[in-house]
Structure 1
Amino acid sequence: MVGIILVDAVLERSRVLKQALIEFVLEAEGELAEALERYIAAGSRSSNNRYDASFEQNLLIDSFLTEGKVGDNTVLDLFLASQPDLPETDRTLVSNWQRSFIGLFAVTEILSDGFELMNWFTAKHYTVKPNDPITLEEMARFKIGEILLSRIAPVTDIYWMFSGPCKPMGNLGKPKLAVAIGNFKENHNNALYSDAPDLLEQAWQSVEQYHQNFVEFFGSDQVTLPGYQLNKKMTDLQEIITKRHLEAAGIDNSKSLAEIAKEAGVTEEEIAAMAAEAGDDSKLVSQIFQGNSTTKMVMPKVDLPDTLKKAEQVTVFTHPRWGQTLLPTYTKFQTILESEDWQDNQEVEKLVRKYLEDSAINAFIWKRLAQQYPTQLEKALQIVLKRPEFRLENDFNALMKEFNKSLEPELPEIASVPLHLHNLFQEALGEVNKSKSKGKSKKPAGKGFR
């Protein structure tokens, strides 16, 4: 009972301090106000790719409270500096809010004063409590299995509180949950493993390893082949990678499935399920476990869509940070830029605009084009954008930002993912395919880890 009273007292103090922090930021002028404005502008999405406007703005403000900076100082540091009389316990409480993070959570248990939640990206569990009775009453309708998009902040070593707005999404079936996770990945890519830096490190390492394997196999980080031939080569590459992972894990790929499962410390069903996705050969599992880590990471299967398989030419790029990009129009772009009369070609504007507006074509591809065709590309951008003063050397970064292309790599699709996420997407895909085979008109989940 004493422990509960103490937690309630800390929650109440958290509510008071959080409100003071909000007022400190929203009533600020000068550099802090300007930093908030820039943060919201940078984080806001287009009207057709956002949550409702009010939820998004409140979410961004809450993120700024714990993630925002003014010069070299964090917002939390500035707030604490403005409150010299705060006791040390309050200062520690506020400072710990830098561990706040956004996640897609599932309600696993309903408590009298809160919830047990699981972060879908890391499978970590949290005891989360609203810090005021009104919010608790509003959340009374939540059920087991409810999916919540929310930020949470630490209150004690054990308990967390909801921070900012919470968006309930209902109890989603696997296909819809897969779409929700894919949307989260697209909108909050830098927050995928906020509470599990070890998983984030493993994911980035897998991107680098894939790049090394690709370059060793193809002899270059940029390859152009007919679509059908590239698809076959990619399958061959995955088989080689699988064998290497088996060997690195100390598994003899001549052994039976039961023997592999026993030595890998997993169930035979887990390996069999992955083998089914990789093909008929259970020993060539393209989603083999990486090493002997506590959390199993799985390499996504690279499977070219039919449009690329049928393409006359597909250029594939790999990079240790930017990951892999597949483009069926790159050679066409090259041919046009290399021709003497390229300025008269009507396809130039179409390609330039497509490469600027297509979110799948990142800044790395533009940098590669700029390296290969600096003069032609600069002139093409001047003409298409009607900016005769445009200079690649000076204006490249601003152009990328204008078209929402990050100058720093975000965790790419080729990165390995935790096994539970991989399994979810395979099961969701299986359900969709089963529905389609029965003649239903449901569309497959188009977003997620694949």
Structure 2
Amino acid sequence: MTITIERAKALKQALNDFVLDAEDDLATALESFSAAQLSQAKQTDLNRRDLVVDRFITEGRVNDQTPIERFIAAESDLSAAEQSLLQGWHKSFIGLFAVTQLFDDGLELMNWTTAKHYRLLLNESEQQVAIKLKAGDILLAQIGRLHPASDPNPSWMLLSKWISLGRLGKPKLAVAIGNFKQTYRDHLYSDAPELLVEAWQSVETYHQEFANFFGGSEVTLPGYQLAKKLSEFQTLTAEKQLAKSGLDGSKSLQDVAEETGVSEAELQAELAEAAAALGADAKRMAQVMQSKQPAAMVSPKVELPPHLKKAEQVTILTHPRWGQVFLTDYAQLQATIAADSDIQPYVQKYLQDPEIPTFVLQALVQQHPQQMETALQAVSQRSDFQMDSDLEDLLRAQGKSLTPELPEIASVPLHLHHLFQAAVVEVSKDRPKKQAKSKAAGFGRS
């Protein structure tokens, strides 16, 4: 049985009404989910309340069921095909899409983060709104299957109203992708699990290479020394990656700029914002632009934040899943532990600071269980606090995730180098060419 787009949209509306009209534990679960999403997400244009209910329908849990499963159980007259359609929406995802084609009955979209294409069918009301769209427009939307994966030409449908960002210039588009990465981290590679696997593997690789270079997963040095060592480490790992991908690591940004026909200053300026948005290195991205054999992923640039370069001591801790963190007081904490003194102020800070990942506290608990339990009893104001039974609840209460999220040091899909290449070409065309070639200040020039 083939389900029409109109029937599918009617089912989606009925599902929305079922969730919004609920007054039992479903309503409580929606309220909790909404509060969590809106408090944790970055405050950007992509963080829209409109999507929260749609996300809850496909991602939320009510005890041991999903909202979709609750709906199916409550609607006894649903056909097998309709139930299958609804169940398939569990695999829906949010994406930042480019409109590639417009049809009378729908759209073709490309997911910018994975470069995968989707044929969307629209109902009549959506078609009226889509009249205003043009090829190249950027849409934030949640989509799900209309036809099963076994269909030779599967169609998809909107499970949310799209949010149009309009037609963006390439640098602004790269920034939008960076914002999407921050706001919808779980949806970054929803439709490309192979990229997610490779990204996680890159975190493990980074951790191992860091340990090989520094002699362990923990290193403490004065800020200026650590900055220098990190630069050496970055150069070494970049050369390995370039060799693996077949790129010429000896090329400077100036070399690439000359080959591109753009000044070094222009190339540096235009790549900087976009590369930073994706956590990539501008020089690396420029080199990639010259390659006709792009690799699958590109690693981000790792360097000591400027405000830490003058610090008396900085500790880097790395983890094969959680990534890495910079701490200026970790050495003092360890000295305080060794002196058997009060560590409550440190523990309280580490609990409350959102920039300090959970693995730091977990490592301290494992290494110094007795002192940590005493400190946590003081922090929680519970003399009966026990780490075995109460630690996870305390971490949750402080907003600490118990499972790793893909960290910033993870590799990024390299297909996005096309975006950077187009950005440079676009900017070079828009800017008047200089009458004479002059040296550019900055980026190693003076």
The normalised TM-score by structure 2 is 0.74
Q: Distance in 1 between matches of 2:393 and 2:134?
A: 46
Q: Please say if 1:167 is aligned against 2:158.
A: no
Alpha-carbon deviation of 1:413? 0.8
Q: Please say if 1:36 is aligned against 2:25.
A: no
Tell whether the 8 Å contact from 1:106 to 1:146 is kept in structure 2 after alignment: yes
Residue of structure 2 aligned with 1:402, choices 391, 397, 405: 397
Alpha-carbon deviation of 1:225? 1.6
1:294-443 paired onto structure 2 within 5 Å:
296-339=296-339, 342=342, 349=345, 351-384=346-379, 386-421=381-416
> Aligned pair in 2 of structure 1 residues 395, 422: CA closer, same or farther (>3 Å)?
farther
SS in 2 for 1:164: coil
Residue of structure 2 aligned with 1:237, choices 233, 241, 244: 233
Alpha-carbon deviation of 1:213? 1.4
> Aligned pair in 2 of structure 1 residues 164, 252: CA closer, same or farther (>3 Å)?
closer
State the number of aligned residues: 398
Counterpart position of 1:23: 17
1:227-306 paired onto structure 2 within 5 Å:
227-245=223-241, 296-306=296-306
Amino acid at match of 1:79: F
Alpha-carbon deviation of 1:319? 1.2
Counterpart position of 2:7: 13
Amino acid at match of 2:140: L
Counterpart position of 2:82: 90
Deviations, residues 25-77 of structure 1 (Å, cap 9, x unaligned): 33445454444344334333169837699x42x42221222233345444333
Tell whether the 8 Å contact from 1:226 to 1:312 is kept in structure 2 after alignment: yes
Tell whether the 8 Å contact from 1:288 to 1:298 is kept in structure 2 after alignment: no
SS in 2 for 1:128: strand
Counterpart position of 2:278: none
Residue of structure 2 aligned with 1:183, choices 159, 163, 179: 179
Deviations, residues 412-431 of structure 1 (Å, cap 9, x unaligned): 11111111446757998998
SS in 1 for 2:409: coil
Q: Distance in 2 between matches of 1:46 and 1:252?
A: 39
Q: Please say if 1:212 is aligned against 2:203.
A: no
Tell whether the 8 Å contact from 1:286 to 1:301 is kept in structure 2 after alignment: no
Q: Distance in 2 between matches of 1:66 and 1:313?
A: 46
Tell whether the 8 Å contact from 2:108 to 2:118 is kept in structure 1 after alignment: yes
Q: Distance in 1 between matches of 2:101 and 2:349?
A: 47
The normalised TM-score by structure 1 is 0.74
Q: Distance in 1 between matches of 2:284 and 2:371?
A: 45
> Aligned pair in 2 of structure 1 residues 371, 89: CA closer, same or farther (>3 Å)?
closer
Tell whether the 8 Å contact from 1:337 to 1:377 is kept in structure 2 after alignment: no
Counterpart position of 1:158: 154
Alpha-carbon deviation of 1:117? 2.3
Q: Please say if 1:137 is aligned against 2:128.
A: yes
Q: Distance in 2 between matches of 1:409 and 1:230?
A: 26
> Aligned pair in 2 of structure 1 residues 353, 187: CA closer, same or farther (>3 Å)?
farther
- Structure 2 unaligned spans of 5+: 148-152, 253-258, 276-282, 432-446
Tell whether the 8 Å contact from 1:357 to 1:403 is kept in structure 2 after alignment: yes
Counterpart position of 2:443: none
Q: Distance in 1 between matches of 2:140 and 2:75?
A: 32
Alpha-carbon deviation of 1:298? 0.7
Counterpart position of 1:146: 137
Q: Please say if 1:222 is aligned against 2:214.
A: no
Alpha-carbon deviation of 1:363? 0.6
Q: Distance in 1 between matches of 2:394 and 2:190?
A: 29
> Aligned pair in 2 of structure 1 residues 206, 388: CA closer, same or farther (>3 Å)?
same
1:101-120 paired onto structure 2 within 5 Å:
101-120=93-112
1:40-51 paired onto structure 2 within 5 Å:
40-45=34-39, 49=43
Q: Distance in 1 between matches of 2:106 and 2:368?
A: 59
> Aligned pair in 2 of structure 1 residues 286, 179: CA closer, same or farther (>3 Å)?
closer
Alpha-carbon deviation of 1:233? 2.3
> Aligned pair in 2 of structure 1 residues 71, 382: CA closer, same or farther (>3 Å)?
closer
> Aligned pair in 2 of structure 1 residues 252, 162: CA closer, same or farther (>3 Å)?
closer
Q: Is the deviation greater in 401-410 or in 171-180?
A: 171-180
Percent of residue pairs identical:
46
Q: Distance in 2 between matches of 1:352 and 1:255?
A: 45
- Structure 1 unaligned spans of 5+: 1-5, 258-267, 279-283, 436-450
Alpha-carbon deviation of 1:14? 0.7
SS in 1 for 2:161: strand
Q: Distance in 1 between matches of 2:237 and 2:413?
A: 18
Alpha-carbon deviation of 1:245? 4.0
Amino acid at match of 1:146: D
Amino acid at match of 1:182: G
SS in 1 for 2:324: strand
SS in 1 for 2:407: coil
> Aligned pair in 2 of structure 1 residues 312, 108: CA closer, same or farther (>3 Å)?
farther
Deviations, residues 258-283 of structure 1 (Å, cap 9, x unaligned): xxxxxxxxxx97xx999x999xxxxx
Amino acid at match of 2:164: P
> Aligned pair in 2 of structure 1 residues 199, 252: CA closer, same or farther (>3 Å)?
closer
Q: Distance in 1 between matches of 2:13 and 2:397?
A: 35
Deviations, residues 270-307 of structure 1 (Å, cap 9, x unaligned): xx999x999xxxxx969998xx9986211112122222
Tell whether the 8 Å contact from 2:221 to 2:315 is kept in structure 1 after alignment: yes
Tell whether the 8 Å contact from 2:95 to 2:142 is kept in structure 1 after alignment: yes
> Aligned pair in 2 of structure 1 residues 226, 118: CA closer, same or farther (>3 Å)?
same
> Aligned pair in 2 of structure 1 residues 132, 370: CA closer, same or farther (>3 Å)?
farther
